[in-house]
Structure 1
Amino acid sequence: MEGEAEVKKTLFSLVLLPFLLLYALPVSAVEKEERTWQDETMYYVMTDRFHNGDNKNDKEINNHDLRAYQGGDFTGAAEKLDYLHDMGITSIIISPVFENAKGGYHGYWITDFYKTNKQFGSLKELNHLVKEAHDRDMKVIVDFPIMQVSPSHPWVKDAAKADWFVTKSGHAEEKWLGQMAVLNLENEAVKQELIKVGQWWMKKADIDGYYLSDSANAPVSFLQDFSAQLKQQQKNFFLLGGNDGKTDIKHFEKSGLDSVMNAELAGLLQEQFKNVNEPSNQSAALLKKESEESSLLLANYLDSSKTDRFTKKTVEENMFPGTRWMMALTYLYTVPGVPVVYYGSEVALNGEKGPESHRLLSFKEDQELIDHMKEIGELRQKLPALTRGSYEPIYDKDGMTVFKRQYKDETLIVAVNNSNKTQKVTIPAEELDRNKELRGLLEGGLARPEEEKFSLILDRETAEIYALTEKVGVNKLFIAALAAVYIIFMAFLYLVWKRGKASRQ
């Protein structure tokens, strides 16, 4: 019986062989290039609401009050880096690390730029988080507010610094932030002090960049000098600007920033994916315009610490959030720009802007959504056309959108059917290559040119990333594999017959 089992094992392996030869072909022939910031996939960690790894700093927590600290800290974030890395995240943005006024869980009520928030941990623990991230080849960016501090900041009370402020106690645009002191960035002393702060943390914490989250109204001259001084210290240091949706992207083009949050697109995407059958032509037109006119790397997102959760929109439409997120994230990961995922999106966290949207992450995983993020994250890292390629809209109607990304010899077609019925889109063969085929990388679909056109058919609420590849024809290796299977199969039948005959005798 042992010999028969071995034959069965061999037979099974040979049956698999032709299929492995047929399907395990390389998707992309584009050589892997040196990683740059445009290749990143980012995740915003609100430290206090992420994960509690050290109970020793839990002095001010109150889990019954969303306006109070909930216990997350640097140690907790470090403990969950594998969770993020496995999900395809390559860079993390962490909420402001600086000392804050009482209750400043979000990090924006700054009282000292040179101290860490004790609720999150010490500089040593922040350094540990950064080192652990770097050990996993992940980059770390710190949210660094440059325009506002807490009214209780010592600078506010210093009479000699009266001209450091536009206002010492004004209403923040975000009502939940309350009263804030607004810095005068036109003041040379203020500018030099903030540059000094930026350089200090670069040196002390070995971080890779700053997210200037409130830079929408910062003077371009300030941003230029800030950028020049920091990049003189570290050439590849990344500077990401915040935007309020009211400031034109062109405002930032001469600022020295590397990237800006794409607030206009975020608003369009929330509307586009909150329900099925929503138009996508506005997003496509904006992306086309930005890819042709903007020199900045744009950071695309669906929600942030200062907006309603995208999940809230989907729930208001009586839609299932998990499916809505899968559709929206596929689009976010495949259009030009860097995707920025706000913490909790992977479990479709809900909430209205402010503390309601800053709920503690429970890590009760929506495994289907997380698996999908892993899959699209992996493709984003493997396919340069998704991070560096040109962008060409092909089709937009009734919730179905198709576009092409191309980089060197790699051509991808992304199709997103955000409608309530099966959709079919045809692409003239001459626009691609009539001698090749489109192979689906998510659902495994296949489209070959027939009558001089490729036909893409997608079920409702599904998406596919197609790679234009060589046709898989019947080749000599495949025929040889089939022949080997046939010979072994016949030998196996003969062996079974012979042993059966011997046992009967």
Structure 2
Amino acid sequence: MEGEAEVKKKLFSLVLLPFLLLYAFPVSAVEKEERMWQDETMYYLMTDRFHNGNSKNDKEINNNDLRAYQGGDFAGVADKLDYLHDMGFTSLIISPVFENAKSGYHGYWVTDFYQTNKQFGSMKELKHLVKEAHDRDMKVIVDFPVRQVSPSHPWVKDPAKADWFQTTSGKTEEDWLGPMAILNLENKAVQQEMTKAGQWWIKKAGVDGYYLSDSAEAPLAFLQSFSKEMKQQKKDFFLLGGSGKKSSVKQFERSGLDSVMNAELAAQLQEQFKNVKQPSDEGTKLVDEAAKQEKAILSANYLDSIKTARFTKKAVEENMFPGTRWMMGLTYLYTVPGVPVVYYGSEVALNGEEGAESHRLLSFKEDQELVDYIKKIGELRQKLPALTRGSYEPIYDKDGMTVFKRQYKGETLIVAVNNSDKTQKVAVPAEELDDNKELRGLLEGGLARPENGKFSLILDRETAEIYALTEKAGANKLFIAALAAVYIIFMTFLYLVWKRGRASRKSS
């Protein structure tokens, strides 16, 4: 028995050796650098609709009414941090944490900027959430509306603050919010009050950034001042702005904000990926524009958000399978310049019309295939600096097939997304890459080597690939020599075993 075990052990070592040699060659030669905000992968969640971790604050819950509280809270988010971390998310954006008017589950009906929403939990529980996130090297960004409050806010009823408001019953782009009191951000007292509130939460809760979700129509001077004050309060504090239907990322270049939600690109991507063979040239154009502005301001890219209908709804209306549509869209989102922002429930292809219908409670009944795919592209995004910091060069764009190049220092990647209904083949000139190297697929394992001065990329319908430009495996003499040595040793070993067996039979 001992001899048989020894044989198995040696055989295992021989089989394992080539694989150890093969994987000794890393895909990326770029050294790990200090983390920057563009390296993040963000997950936006509605606290009330995420997970219930503390039943003691469930006083206003009505699970039969989507416009009422559903029970999610700070404790519930803290409980699910590993779930988010395992999917590759490095930053959380959480819906407004402030005290709200009755039924303000979304957080935008603010009535006090210095109190937590008791339905979500206490300041102690919020601080615990932030600490737990930091322990996992995750950052926490709070959705902070600076331009609008609930019409029932005490400021509205104070005659001395009449000039604090543009209107106390104004309309917003989100009809589901109803009438809102719109603050006059040209007023110095209002500016000071909002700045003071922003500083207060940094001190009290230790958050890492704000998402100024209603900043689309905020005065540039206010944003510049607010940004300056927040960054003095905490170094490397992140400020993400919200663009609207009538605004673009470009107009925020001098705002002092670090990044802006790219609503224009999001609308295009919903149309581009809702079905196969959709026009994609406009998406390429918008991504290219955002890439050129990246030094001034970072584009935050998304497919849907708290303010839109679900992307899943678009796919279902086209009679398409949502999981595949999400895989195509997210691959694009994770690999173009900018920072991806994924709305909660995308990992289960949550459906819904704009408003409360799209703010459903997350069931955590995972679409395992989609979750695993998100994990895979999230891991690649973290390991490959070219995806977060690299240059962007469109190569091919036709009939739903999109190919582009990302380069950073010694790393070159080719991203190909075949959002069509048939197999596609695209030729990339070898002179644009290196005809002494090969393209190795990191998602599906595809391989392309130069032939006749070009690399031929072949992708099945509705699949994507991230290719890394690497040394040719076939030209690796050490690897070939190792395989030959293994073969010789293995055959010698079999001969010796046979010879020993023969000798044993003769002696018996």
Assess same fold via TM > 0.5: yes
Q: Deviations over 1:326-368 (max 9, x none)?
A: 1100000000000000000000000001000000000001111
Q: Does 1:482 align with 2:484?
A: yes
Q: Does 1:306 align with 2:307?
A: yes
Q: Deviations over 1:385-432 (max 9, x none)?
A: 000001000000111000000111111000000111110000111111
Q: Summarize the Cα distance change of 1:503–1:363 in structure 2 as closer, same or farther, 3 Å threshold.
A: farther
Deviation at 1:493, TM superposition (A): 4.6
Q: Percent identity?
A: 76
SS in 1 for 2:465: strand
Q: Deviations over 1:207-249 (max 9, x none)?
A: 0000000000000011011111111111211100001131132
Matched-pair contact (CA < 8 Å) for 1:14–1:481: no
Distance 1:6 1:25 in 2: 30
Q: Deviations over 1:48-91 (max 9, x none)?
A: 00000000000000111100000000000000000000000000
Q: Which residue in the other structure is 1:331 paired with?
A: 332
Matched-pair contact (CA < 8 Å) for 1:146–1:215: yes
Q: Summarize the Cα distance change of 1:225–1:79 in structure 2 as closer, same or farther, 3 Å threshold.
A: same
Q: Deviations over 1:128-153 (max 9, x none)?
A: 00000000000000000011111110
Q: Which residue in the other structure is 1:38 paired with?
A: 38
SS in 1 for 2:126: helix
Q: Which residue in the other structure is 1:183 paired with?
A: 183
Matched-pair contact (CA < 8 Å) for 2:273–2:329: yes
Between stretches 173-182 and 76-85, larger displacement belongs to 173-182
Deviation at 1:500, TM superposition (A): 6.3
**Correspondences of 1:18-417 after superposition (within 5 Å):** 18-293=18-293, 295-417=296-418
Q: Which residue in the other structure is 1:443 paired with?
A: 444
Deviation at 1:282, TM superposition (A): 0.8
Deviation at 1:494, TM superposition (A): 3.6
Distance 1:64 1:497 in 2: 78
Matched-pair contact (CA < 8 Å) for 2:22–2:479: no
SS in 2 for 1:438: strand
Deviation at 1:285, TM superposition (A): 1.1
Deviation at 1:487, TM superposition (A): 1.9
Distance 1:320 1:481 in 2: 44
Q: Aligned pair count?
A: 505
SS in 1 for 2:468: strand
Deviation at 1:16, TM superposition (A): 2.7
Distance 2:85 2:78 in 1: 11
Deviation at 1:496, TM superposition (A): 4.5
Opposite residue 106 of structure 1, the aligned amino acid is H
Q: Deviations over 1:414-465 (max 9, x none)?
A: 0000111110000111111111111111111111111111000001111000
Distance 2:344 2:245 in 1: 21
Distance 2:408 2:94 in 1: 32
SS in 1 for 2:180: strand
Deviation at 1:4, TM superposition (A): 1.6
Runs of 4+ residues deviating >4 angstroms? none
Gaps of 5+ in 2: none
Deviation at 1:106, TM superposition (A): 0.2
Matched-pair contact (CA < 8 Å) for 1:21–1:478: no
Distance 2:140 2:205 in 1: 10
Matched-pair contact (CA < 8 Å) for 1:15–1:485: no
Distance 1:130 1:42 in 2: 15
Distance 2:323 2:482 in 1: 46
Q: Which residue in the other structure is 2:501 paired with?
A: 499
Q: Deviations over 1:458-479 (max 9, x none)?
A: 0111100001111122413541
TM-score by length of 1: 0.98
Q: Does 1:15 align with 2:15?
A: yes
Matched-pair contact (CA < 8 Å) for 1:18–1:478: no
Deviation at 1:23, TM superposition (A): 4.0
Distance 1:36 1:293 in 2: 17
Distance 2:303 2:51 in 1: 22
SS in 2 for 1:411: strand
Opposite residue 7 of structure 1, the aligned amino acid is V
Gaps of 5+ in 1: none
SS in 2 for 1:287: helix
